[in-house]
Amino acid sequence: MALITPGPMAGQISGRLGSAVFSHNRGGPYVRNGTIPTLVTSQAAINAKGRLSAQSQAWDNLTAAQRLAWQEWALANPVTNRLGSQVTIGGNAAFVGINTRLAYAGDTPLTDPPIVDPPPALATLAGTLDIGAGDFELTFTATPLAADIRLWVLLTVLSNTAINYVENRLRLLMVSDKAQASPLDIESETEARFGTLQVGQKVVARVSTFDSTTGLLSAPLQVSDLIVST
């Protein structure tokens, strides 16, 4: 693993370039050799690929006017990448991204782009991570959520508690029911995704509100804490 000091030509780098993978940890930016997976074994990954494939095919069925509308919407609604920069994506990517989220939540897909703003973000977010007699849940406000709003929960479980950079580790854990009330129990979903939980592990959750009618996400709130047992 090679350490790097970004210069004026590359202030921040994240992701793969050829066989090199750029990332960073508490020691700073570094480069490592990347590997190419030969087999997808995770059921979650297989399901995600299926949703992407289905929505890519759905794009082919749109009219020319609908595709143009999505392209115009994408130009007017840049997205934030892993480095925190706003980038403009294509109409196809906007369509597929929104509709794969709706498909995951079991909501109705869109043929025309949204005409409203994303939902408001949560006001507060906290976690209680007790795998003993206590609760393993997220608490939030405002509660309950509005009628068509769900929680969109990304999460990771870390055995190395010194890790703070989690952009490449967060996984989609679950989408809550509409009008979810606080708290949200996440223990069974976390164990199903990450295996048996252990005292002392670090959990990082990043939560947005999700509009089930538009597929749009709010700005997220993030919380992290250690697993305990009582």
pLDDT per position as a tens digit, 135-146: 999 999 999 999
**Arithmetic mean of pLDDT, 130-134:** 96
Per-residue pLDDT at 1 exceeds 60: no
**Arithmetic mean of pLDDT, 85-96:** 92
Instruction: Answer yes or no: are the C-beta atoms of 156 and 171 closer than 8 Å.
Output: yes
**Arithmetic mean of pLDDT, 65-91:** 90
CA distance 194 to 197: 8
pLDDT at 48: 78
Domains (ranges, CATH) in the chain?
Answer: 2-33 (no CATH), 43-105 (no CATH), 124-226 (2.60.40)
Q: Tell me the two tokens of residue 30.
A: 């570094």
User: Tell me: the pLDDT tens digits for 62-75?
Assistant: 999 999 999 999 99
Residue 172's CB: how many other CB atoms inside 10 A? 14
Any idea which of 21-35, 83-97, 152-166, 172-186 has the lowest mean pLDDT? 21-35
In the beta sheet, which residues pair with residue 32? Answer: 21
- What is the chain's mean pLDDT, rounded? 88
**Arithmetic mean of pLDDT, 15-34:** 64
